């Protein structure tokens, strides 16, 4: 097809702008997910504080009271809450029979962590659905503006988006990672509670350790949605390029000193759309992206770099990361 001859930084700039736009679009979801874990942390701290108030005496824990069976009303309400959350099939066997007062607290911490993971998953699914659709439309628009040829615009159907959302990044999809992170959180909370009872440590120390555990989970949740947003931006772009009949893409790394070694190696190289192994992100918090390859004669003669001395962007001749490093670092 006859394309406009873009001999400037058009394609790299459009690809970077697209990723930035999709990332900005996800910021409200990042805040919503963070709020989910902050609320779960607050509830957890309240439960643990009440445990200390009731059973932590001057000379240590009242272990006999902790081992006594919890009131049937508390156990019933816990199981009703599990059923309401849709978590009956996830309920551990040791929380399905009689519970001691200490186990009752553990069970409620388990429930709160699982409810947080469910809410996290729902928010992230909505965010990635939006990211795929936006990336597809953005890439299609850029193709039409950059080539002078207007492709047949269409909306991605629900089945296609669902199939894209199921794709895996390094062996797992985002849902798998949410539940894996939840498992780590539950394990940490259980171990912290057991350690607090065994050692007789103060509430303030236990509370600080619980805050740290939730801090790790919040960081991992933040990193997960940022990395997976890049993943789905790439897949939405690929879907757009393929619908336009294009078969290859160019890997675009950021030209600055923070770029990872693996992204440096792939920068500027051409790959087929079906080559999933080299589609960014290639690691957590990856900033690389892709652009369509239209033909050698349409490759840009310039690109943007981040000046290592001033920290500002500037135009330079089109070159690979390795060539840029030799000249500027």
Cβ 235 vs Cβ 167: under 8 Å: yes
Secondary structure letter of residue 244 according to DSSP: T
pLDDT of residue 301: 55
pLDDT of residue 1: 43
- Residue 189, CA distances (Å) to 44, 107, 166, 284, 316 in order: 9, 11, 30, 25, 52
pLDDT of residue 316: 60
Cβ 301 vs Cβ 281: under 8 Å: no
Cβ 180 vs Cβ 114: under 8 Å: no
pLDDT of residue 8: 45
* More confident call, 154 vs 271: 271
pLDDT tens for each residue of 32-81: 999 999 999 999 999 999 999 999 998 889 999 999 999 999 999 999 99
Nearest to 140 by CA among 245, 232, 228: 245
pLDDT reading at 306 higher than 60: no
pLDDT of residue 293: 87
Average pLDDT value for the chain: 87
Residue with tokens 């186990």, as numbered in its chain: 103
Burial code (b: 16+ CB inside 10 Å, e: under 16) for 188-198 equals: bbeebbeebbe
Dihedral (CA of 258, 260, 265, 270) sign: negative
Alpha carbons 256 and 76: distance in angstroms, whole number: 58
Alpha carbons 233 and 236: distance in angstroms, whole number: 5
* More confident call, 155 vs 158: 158
* Residue 100: strand, helix, or coil: strand
pLDDT tens for each residue of 133-150: 999 988 888 887 767 665
CB-based contacts of 273, cutoff 8 Å, min separation 6: 238, 241, 242, 246, 247, 248, 249
pLDDT tens for each residue of 117-137: 999 999 999 999 999 999 998
Q: Which two tokens mark 94?
A: 């040791």
pLDDT of residue 304: 52
Cβ-count burial of 21 within 10 angstroms (0-12 exposed, 13-18 middle, 19+ buried)?
Answer: middle
CB-based contacts of 62, cutoff 8 Å, min separation 6: 55, 56
């Amino acid at each position: 097809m006859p394309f406009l001859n873009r001999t400037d930084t058009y394609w790299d700039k459009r690809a970077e702008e697209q990723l930035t736009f999709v990332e900005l679009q996800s910021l409200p979801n990042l805040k919503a997910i963070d709020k989910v874990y902050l609320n779960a942390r607050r509830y957890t701290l309240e439960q643990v504080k009440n445990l200390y108030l009731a059973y932590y005496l001057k000379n240590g824990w009242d272990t006999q009271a902790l081992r006594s069976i919890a009131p049937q009303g508390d156990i019933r309400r816990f199981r009703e809450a599990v059923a309401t959350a849709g978590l009956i099939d996830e309920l551990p066997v040791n929380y399905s029979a009689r519970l001691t007062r200490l186990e009752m607290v553990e069970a409620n911490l388990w429930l709160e962590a699982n409810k947080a993971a469910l809410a996290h998953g729902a928010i992230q699914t909505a965010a990635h659905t939006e990211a795929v659709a936006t990336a597809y439309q953005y890439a299609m628009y850029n193709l039409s503006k950059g080539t002078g040829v207007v492709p047949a615009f269409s909306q991605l159907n629900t089945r296609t988006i669902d199939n894209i959302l199921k794709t895996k990044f390094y062996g797992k999809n985002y849902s798998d990672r949410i539940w894996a992170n939840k498992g780590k959180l539950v394990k940490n909370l259980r171990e912290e509670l057991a350690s607090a009872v065994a050692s007789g440590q103060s509430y303030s120390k236990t509370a600080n350790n619980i805050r740290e555990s939730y801090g790790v989970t919040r960081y991992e949740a933040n990193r997960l949605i940022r990395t997976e947003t890049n993943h789905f931006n790439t897949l939405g772009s690929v879907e757009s390029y393929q619908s336009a009949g294009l078969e290859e893409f160019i890997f675009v790394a950021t030209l600055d000193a923070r770029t990872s070694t693996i992204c440096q190696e792939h920068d500027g190289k051409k790959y087929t759309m079906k080559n999933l192994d080299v589609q960014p992100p290639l690691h957590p918090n990856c900033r690389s992206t892709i652009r369509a390859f239209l033909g050698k004669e349409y490759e840009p003669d310039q690109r943007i770099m981040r000046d290592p001395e001033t920290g500002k962007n500037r135009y330079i001749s089109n070159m690979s990361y390795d060539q840029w490093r030799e000249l500027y670092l």
